[in-house]
A and B are shown apart, each in its own frame.
Chain A
Amino acid sequence: MKKLYLLEDAIISPLGFSTKENIQAIREGKSGLKLQKPKFTENQFFAGIIDEILLNRAFSEIGSIEKFTKLEKMILLAVKQVLDKNKNLDLSETALILTTTKGNIDLLKEPGDFPESRLKLSELGKVVANFFVFKQTPIILSNACISGGLGLAVARRLGNSGIFKNAIVVGADLVSDFVISGFNSFQALSPEACKPFSKERDGISLGEAAAAMLVSFDQPQNSANISLIGDASANDANHISGPSRTGEGLYKSIQKALKEASISAEKVGFLSAHGTATVYNDEMESIAFHRSGLQEVPIHSLKGFYGHTLGASALLESIITKHSMLNNELFASKNFGELGVSKSLNIIQSNKHKEIYYALKTASGFGGCNLALVFKAEKE
């Protein structure tokens, strides 16, 4: 299968309204997680929420703030940034791949002036496509927390046969009362800012973000570039909300992705894990990584910066991975204290310089799904 080049990207998150701002914030160790008072939950919790005033201020420059939902404004800002850097892109030939777990689910509780149909992801897709006049029907994926990364794999798999040369892949989700209630009923929300892979970890922090990236099969002019060269997903076939204790699906995904990329585990220079900070997820990942021979690879989770951004997470975190590879820098795993999983891992504890040639991004989600993506850096 052909390489898929990762071109311009944009991140709209509590850490900033551009990839540049986000990377700078991460470099400085700034987290987007803020304390939230208990609304209907028993306890306080932390979440990364985008300030609506700032969002509206930014969006008012490109569209009418009353006509679009919060999620739509986030997505449209992200896609606009990517398109502004690619004015020559032929939108009639560019696919739009939109990934989200819950879309405009906040409308279920507070519809405002929006029709019920806006709850439908196909309507969300239309809103985005029509704003920019994409000609092709958006391809919409909703596959739990691997969605954003699966979007990249889908772009590569579909485009490989020549159906399209370029695609804009978007991943976005909100911190909604719906989702807060749900994870709270699961007893899965930490009362503190989440601590991936740590001994004291006790649950997730939620986050919201929109991430967008232009991908292409055409080799970019820049000799320094990042491409997707291996991708695989596999279900655990174990439980719909708890991960496999042996990390079966994740292990399989990693093996297949590495095989497709024709590299061995030793070649992987950096691993961006899912690391949601639940007791079970992080333990499962450590087992899968160990089984794959990845225990020495520098690894982090970005959930301490963003919280779990659900459908956006795997795409957002792939974008950060891409820039780590381009800039030869590794970012520390925020809120990591003492290792709290049964298998040893090489958790990145402070920012450092490293030349990375191959990186692995993994993700797992409800429904037992797992995903592994292998990225390659071509250096100048």
Chain B
Amino acid sequence: MSNQFHIQDWVKIKNGEIFNSGKLIFESTEKELTLFLKECYEFLEIKYPKFHKMDGLSKLGILGSEIIFRKNKSTKDTALVISNNASSLENDKQFQESTKTFASPALFVYTLPNIVLGEISIKYKLQSENAFFISEDFNAGLLKDYSESLLSSEKTSSVLCGWLDLQNGEYDVFLCLVSKEKNIPFSEESLKKLYCAENDKPTHRT
């Protein structure tokens, strides 16, 4: 049952750096989030004007997915199993602020964490299983168990799973593509290892 599925590719975005399969592919000293995200967008030469209307969480999701799906073809049923700690609170606060004068529909639409799954689905034409989990910290066990259940029961043949967190302007992204082809065995240990790599210490939120 275990080691039946494998991690094909993964991406990390944190502290101004983007890593793909362990290789640094982009870095920036830009501290302001919107500008940093725009730099990444331009670096990747993504031509998708809708990007600029998205909230920070969705932009991060598109950046991560773009890197993965450029090298690994997604299929219509590639499931999305993503998690974080802050839900959409970063954007929720902005919407709340707008309600003091004129509530903004463009902000309200992003006040749900699963909207990023919708944005990824639209861009890459995925009509697949979605699940957005919230946890205190990166929960490798849950991601592994749930993704594996979808794969084993053949509800899907591949899963993009991981962590996509944004709070107080700080982002922490770890996404990986899992399917049957032999590569890095998909397990709780391997997920933890990849998530913690290139970090000084494992990310922890209190």
Q: Which residues of A contact B (CB under 8 A)?
A: 1, 40, 101-103, 105, 108-109, 119-122, 125-126, 137, 139-144, 150, 154, 157-158, 160-161, 163, 177-178, 181-186, 232-241, 248-249, 252, 256, 365-369
- Contact check, B108 vs A185: say whether CB atoms are below 8 A apart: yes
The answer to the question of B46 belonging to the interface, with a C-beta cut-off of 8 Å to chain A, is: no
Within the complex, what minimum Cβ distance (angstroms) separates B142 from chain A?
Answer: 6
Selected interface stretch from B23-31, B124-132, B177-185: B124-132
- Contact check, A1 vs B153: say whether CB atoms are below 8 A apart: yes
1/0 contact string of B150-192 vs chain A (CB within 8 Å) = 1011010000000000000000000000000000000000000
* Residue from B85, B130, B152 within 8 A of A120 (CB atoms): B85
Known: A367-B130, A368-B122. A232 touches B115 (CB 8 A): no
Show 28 A/B contacts (Cβ-Cβ < 8 Å), sorted by A.
Answer: A1-B153, A120-B134, A122-B135, A137-B135, A140-B134, A141-B131, A141-B132, A142-B133, A143-B113, A144-B115, A154-B131, A160-B153, A161-B1, A178-B111, A181-B95, A182-B111, A183-B108, A185-B104, A233-B131, A234-B128, A235-B126, A237-B121, A237-B125, A241-B109, A249-B127, A366-B112, A367-B115, A369-B117
Residues of A contacting B139 in the complex (Cβ-Cβ under 8 angstroms): 137
Q: Which residue of B lies closest to A188 (CB)?
A: B105
The answer to the question of B87 belonging to the interface, with a C-beta cut-off of 8 Å to chain A, is: yes
- Contact check, A237 vs B112: say whether CB atoms are below 8 A apart: no
Q: Which residue of B lies closest to A241 (CB)?
A: B109
Residues of A contacting B99 in the complex (Cβ-Cβ under 8 angstroms): 40, 177-178, 181
**Bound complex: CA A184 to CA B105 (Å):** 9
- Contact check, A234 vs B129: say whether CB atoms are below 8 A apart: yes
1/0 contact string of B80-91 vs chain A (CB within 8 Å) = 100001110100
Q: Which residue of A lies closest to B97 (CB)?
A: A108
Within the complex, what minimum Cβ distance (angstroms) separates B87 from chain A?
Answer: 6
Other contacts beyond A142-B134, A157-B150: 18, CB < 8 A: A1-B153, A102-B111, A109-B96, A120-B87, A122-B134, A122-B136, A141-B132, A141-B133, A143-B113, A144-B114, A158-B145, A158-B149, A160-B153, A161-B148, A163-B145, A182-B105, A234-B128, A241-B109
